Structure 1
């Protein structure tokens, strides 16, 4: 299990901002199950669903941004878990970009790859690996878009969500796997010890021109997501 506990360049859990967070929340004093739930809830709801400058940014930058998507939220979640001595790994996929419609629109959606690199954190709990994909979407955003999802291929997609049944979405962690985008997975890219290894091989923002364009557009995208999140 030692390899699933190591600090890496992306998982910079010894950075003061991350250590201060862990200490101020009192997470070290909790039991293992409570630790996982606490950091999962924090990353899901206190780090809003949104788009960072790149997939492969360090955990402390995701924390500073205050928002993230599947890949960057996974990085922060893994850093917090390992910072608390809880083994975790990353599982990578390709996912159909159709599920991003509504969250991404116009040029941003047009230039997004047909298959988007997607990842979730797997935590070792009760002698098994548990997927924590549900960490991506915060409750306020979910409440606003759940009824806007489109029926597609016997499921529901849109706004960064892809599920088989929109009436049974439950992102609260209760010791079992949680899912919110898995219905649109097209390819399994395998399991990696760290996000550093995964994003070195697979990355949505490796193209310099697309990275520059996305960084111009992402602030507008995040403002739109906030408008959706807080609209009455």
Structure 2
């Protein structure tokens, strides 16, 4: 029996044989596409049909992310990898940390000072006919990104509100066969590539501490998700000492 390609295998986190993912792939008919379009279909699904938001933990299985219907860089990346492998596309994870400044505006100001200075981050690397391609632009869904573009229309560089880009008006987030990015300018440390997210989280974990971890899971992330929903509707919170959004709809820009 031939060995399973390590960049195509299922794992605890990349459980693409689970019913939610297997049924999705079958229902969408993605396997009938060529490789370029298979990658694009999975990418576009994770980018826009899985909303930007914060799950209970980074290291949750792909089917749970799908059922949640939302995720952030690490969890959406796990789901994208599971879908790609279900479609026979080789992929791996590239791990990093990002500066916490990228999350300012999403993390409540009262919590921000005690948040870790660096936050665990990752993107997906996918193998194509022309070589390896970096996929990170799936993190922010289109309505959320459009809200930032409207409110910060007078600037190209933004590090905050979940974005880290030097070309806010036209960031490389669409699948074209090339690299996509939306948080790249916030990167602090590079941990290199890993065959699976399971391997990555065995070696690297977000160190909140017991109390902060409990608070994040049960209180803070729900607060953050309310802010994300408000930002998606165009209601961005004002941040002391931060370049302010346009606030075209003055009086409607309050976020929890």
TM-score band w.r.t. shorter chain: over 0.9
Number of aligned residue pairs: 231
- 1:1-232 equivalences under 5 Å are 2-148=5-151, 155-204=157-206, 207-215=209-217, 216-231=219-234
Distance 2:37 2:204 in 1: 32
Larger helix proportion of the pair:
1
- Pairwise CA RMSD of aligned residues? 2.0
Distance 1:130 1:226 in 2: 30
Unaligned runs of 5+ in 2: 235-248, 250-256
**Residues 174-209 of structure 1, C-alpha deviations (whole Å, 9 max, x = no match):** 000000001111111110000001011112256332
Give the TM-score of the pair, scaled to structure 1: 0.93
Larger Rg: 2
Distance 1:166 1:64 in 2: 30
Give the TM-score of the pair, scaled to structure 2: 0.85
Deviates more, 1:198-207 or 1:51-60: 198-207
Q: For residues 32 and 148 of structure 1, do their structure 2 counterparts lie closer, same or farther at Cα, with a shift above 3 Å needed?
A: same
Deviates more, 1:217-226 or 1:131-140: 217-226
Unaligned runs of 5+ in 1: none
Structure with more relative contact order (C-alpha pairs < 8 Å, separation 6 or more): 1
**Residues 152-184 of structure 1, C-alpha deviations (whole Å, 9 max, x = no match):** 9x9321111001122231311000000000111
